[in-house]
Structure 1
């Protein structure tokens, strides 16, 4: 569980974002997708800070396996995982035509999101509602961003 929590940490996310961004730009050559990817991840971080400041919920104090500081709600690890793996799955889905590859992509993404959120509960640093709240906040943010991305993309194509 410490491993999954580490994978969802801001240090690892800060390494993964540039790697995926370079892949999107250099390998796939998509600038608009790069803007979505970076914007969604940065926005998720600001949304998490805002919600933590708004709710100011204390962390659990019993059965902690690791120590964490800061407010509990919503889980930053859960929000970051949902945003990173969610937007990555969306963008790769658009470039994957085989059903089996799409299924593998979804299974890996969902598995990572659940494992990272579950690790935070297991380690005793979040309540289940913190993780669920993180998923819901990131899910909403990601849905709005994807909707805007697709709407803007359709308008741009109609202009051409």
Structure 2
């Protein structure tokens, strides 16, 4: 993965995410998202069925909860003990922990109440932005990034992107289907977490580049043995 491309893409994604999140937050504050939320909720919930509800509950658990924690811990253990990628482990922790803290901060700022109509699951706390959506974007986004760096074929990278996208979208849709989040909560969560992920990727790749340059300088300064 070319560093110049990573830097450019990270800056563009972070700017788009920050602008998009700000726009949604302003529209929510002015109560101008009802038209969007009501239409998307009606479209998603029209497919309600006992079987689909089970699937959506499962996806929701993968977004945040016991399954999410287990998966996160397993990835951390594999990075440290199996692959010995200590710096990638720190990067992974930074993305996950930072996204969680950012969600807490944003919810405390906006104080948006959750939907009250047609609830299929219990949920507490404020609604905007969706914590499940942010956690899903952070976890599967950083996982795709780390695996992409080691994938050797275009097919493998394509499958990574498709799988990550399906998981992120599925978890977000599950929160709308279950009636515990507005669609704008989910989109806002994606934008907030995407912005955070892009910023951290920029700093991480920048640090790797400088570390590599320092190592190369040390090698050049080493006296040659005759």
Q: Is this contact kept in 2: 1:93–1:105, CA < 8 A?
A: yes
1:98 aligns with 2:98: no
* In structure 2, C-alpha distance between the alignment counterparts of 1:22 and 1:100, rounded to whole Å: 27
Deviation at 1:26, TM superposition (A): 2.4
2:134 corresponds, among 79, 82, 86, to 79
Deviates more, 1:5-14 or 1:68-77: 5-14
1:149 matched residue in structure 2: 204
- Is 2:61 aligned against 1:6? yes
Corresponding residue for 1:24?
Answer: 79
Q: Structure 1 residue 103: deviation in Å? A: 0.9
Instruction: State which of 213, 216, 223 in structure 2 corresponds to 1:158.
Output: 213
How far the C-alpha of 1:104 sits from its partner, in A, is: 0.9
Gaps of 5+ in 2: 1-55, 216-226
- Deviation string for 1:53-92 (max 9, x for gaps)? 0001000011111121110001000000000000000001
Q: Which has the larger radius of gyration?
A: 2
Deviations for 1:86-131, whole angstroms, at most 9, x for unmatched residues?
Answer: 0000001101111111111111100000000000001100000000
- Aligned residue in 1 for 2:118: 63
What's the CA shift for 1:11?
2.0
Alignment: residue pair count? 160
**Equivalent of 2:184, from 109, 117, 129?**
129
TM-score (norm 2): 0.69
SS in 2 for 1:73: coil
Is 1:54 paired with 2:109? yes
Q: What TM-score, normalized by structure 1, do the two folds share?
A: 0.97
The residue number in structure 2 matching 1:15 is 70
Equivalent position of 1:112 in the other structure? 167
